[in-house]
Structure 1
Amino acid sequence: MSDRLFEELVKEHYAGLYRFAYSLTGSESDACDLVQDTYVTWAEKGRQLRDVSRAKSWLYTTLYRAFLDRRRRVTRFPHHELETVEGELPPVAPEVAREADGRTVLEALRELDEDFRAPLVLFYLQQHSYKEIAEILDLPIGTVMSRLSRGKAALRRALEERVRPLAGSGGSESSPPEAS
């Protein structure tokens, strides 16, 4: 593997890999470690990949497997957070969207089972195709489609449950005071 190819892969995929790792771990340092481990693995084994056009899927798959390996070794379940994602998540009813804020969306996404969260992040935030997600998560395409559908429904329900109590309160405590 050439140094030039390695540099191109880092430039092209680092940000996306980091966002995916962060969505899985909820920790900047853990996300950085996962991405670094992924590129170290590429440096050691990347030459085994016969079709360089599949490098993106290979990198994401390697990162996801490294995450699963780490999680198996950890006794507690890690927290999962994403940066601002309101505009990139599946649609919800307009009244729900008006009431939901970034924190609400993050909390709802974090509560989803990893089986649903990972495909949602890969599809909506990383813009992977069904086929790429299937390769990354080592699942059949039908399972990916099912998990995306069920994950969107679960996220929608979680958001509606969070916002419903706010709708009847007549206002939000976090609203700034009106200027006099």
Structure 2
Amino acid sequence: MSEFQDLVDQHYQPLYRFAYSLAKSPDRAADLVQQTFCIWAQKGHQLKDRSKAKTWLFTTLYREHLGHARRSNRFPEIELEEVDYHLHSHEPDTSRGLDGKRAVELLQQLDETFRAPLALFFLQQHSYKEIAAILDVPIGTVMSRISRGKEQLRTKMRDDAEGKIINIEGKVRQNG
């Protein structure tokens, strides 16, 4: 197996999860990961210390995401499936409890300033130092953004939980 294939096998899933937390779209996340590996194929040989490959890949993916976000700000993309879902969804979704999946959904509602460091820290288990390198910000900024992001996420989770009432049968219904 080639060195490149080993790199892809080792880092594809964590990169995809991070990309999905940023892009909020499976297709866009897959595109970001593919673009990241294409850039590695072109420029990866320039990295002298191979132990830094993981950080390099995450940094590259993040920068690709930012570049795409800047370019697409003029013409926002709308997923047709989301439009179709919202057009046909007349009843509120009352089946969701406050589980891990819902926490990730709420995380995706945060501003990217806080979403990216939280996703890297909690979903990818990167250290503050690695996150600082990936996002190209001081470590103190990372710590501050994670702290503020956690507080915003807690507030969203609390608001989400308060919007639901559990009746005696254990069924969840919307409050109000």
Question: Which interval holds the TM-score relative to the shorter structure?
Answer: 0.7 to 0.9
Aligned counterparts of 2:33 and 2:112: Cα–Cα separation in 1: 19
Determine which of 119, 125, 128 is the counterpart of 2:126.
128
Distance apart, 1:78 and its partner CA: 7.5
Aligned structure 1 segments of 4 or more residues deviating by more than 6 angstroms? none
Q: How many correspondences in the alignment?
A: 154
1:57–1:136 Cα contact (<8 Å) kept: yes
Q: Could you list the per-position Cα deviations for residues 78-109 of structure 1 after superposition, in whole angstroms to 9, with x for gaps in the alignment? A: 79xxxxxxxxxxxxxxxxxxx52456424421
Letter matched to residue 129 of structure 1: S
Distance apart, 1:77 and its partner CA: 7.4
% identical aligned pairs:
53
2:106–2:153 Cα contact (<8 Å) kept: yes
Gaps of 5+ in 2: 80-96
User: In 2 relative to 1, CA 78–49 (structure 1 residues): closer, same or farther, beyond 3 Å?
Assistant: farther
Does residue 148 of the first structure (1) align with residue 146 of the second (2)?
A: yes
Does residue 52 of the first structure (1) align with residue 46 of the second (2)?
A: no
Q: Which residue number corresponds to residue 13 of structure 1?
A: 11
Instruction: Report the TM-score when normalising by structure 2.
Output: 0.79
1:109–1:117 Cα contact (<8 Å) kept: yes
Letter matched to residue 163 of structure 1: A
User: In 2 relative to 1, CA 168–19 (structure 1 residues): closer, same or farther, beyond 3 Å?
Assistant: closer
Letter matched to residue 126 of structure 1: Q
Instruction: Report the TM-score when normalising by structure 1.
Output: 0.77
Gaps of 5+ in 1: 80-98, 175-180
Q: Could you list the per-position Cα deviations for residues 144-178 of structure 1 after superposition, in whole angstroms to 9, with x for gaps in the alignment? A: 0111111111100111011113248775139xxxx
Distance apart, 1:62 and its partner CA: 0.3
Question: 1:67-78 counterparts in 2 under 5 A?
Answer: 67-75=65-73, 76=76
Q: Which moved more, 1:22-31 or 1:101-110?
A: 101-110
Q: Which residue number corresponds to residue 135 of structure 2?
A: 137
Distance apart, 1:67 and its partner CA: 0.4
Question: 1:23-38 counterparts in 2 under 5 A?
Answer: 23-38=21-36
